[in-house]
């Protein structure tokens, strides 16, 4: 897993490039890293963004992010 600060820098770059597919993947990585650390509140914040960008990109990953949000009672 990439260090969180590297993921954050990549998110900023993908946002500047207007790349929803990359944003979805990067927010998903951040969410997973936070979930593994036990920070569910922050993880769900990132899962929400990953889900929205996956929907925007038409990515199948939206199903995975939606499942994570359901698992944590956010949907």
pLDDT digits (tens, 9 = 90+) for 14-56: 999 999 999 999 999 999 999 999 999 999 999 999 999 999 9
Among 5-9, 43-47, 70-74, the range scoring the smallest mean pLDDT is: 5-9
Q: What is the pLDDT of residue 6?
A: 87
Cβ burial of 64 (10 Å; 0-12, 13-18, 19+) is middle
**C-alpha to C-alpha distance for 9 and 57, rounded to whole angstroms:** 20
* Predicted structure pTM score: 0.91
**HEC per residue, 33-55:** HHHHCCCHHHHHHHHHHHHHHHH
Query: Is 70 exceeded by the pLDDT of residue 73?
Result: yes
Query: Is 90 exceeded by the pLDDT of residue 64?
Result: yes
**C-alpha to C-alpha distance for 40 and 47, rounded to whole angstroms:** 10
Q: Any idea what DSSP says for residue 59?
A: -
């Amino acid at each position: 897993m990439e260090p969180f600060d590297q993921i954050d820098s990549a998110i900023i770059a993908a946002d500047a490039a207007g790349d929803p597919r990359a944003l979805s993947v990067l927010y998903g990585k951040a969410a997973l890293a936070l979930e593994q650390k036990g920070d569910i509140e922050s993880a769900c914040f990132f899962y929400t963004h990953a889900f929205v960008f996956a929907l925007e990109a038409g990515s199948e990953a939206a199903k995975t992010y939606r499942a994570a949000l359901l698992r944590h009672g956010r949907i």
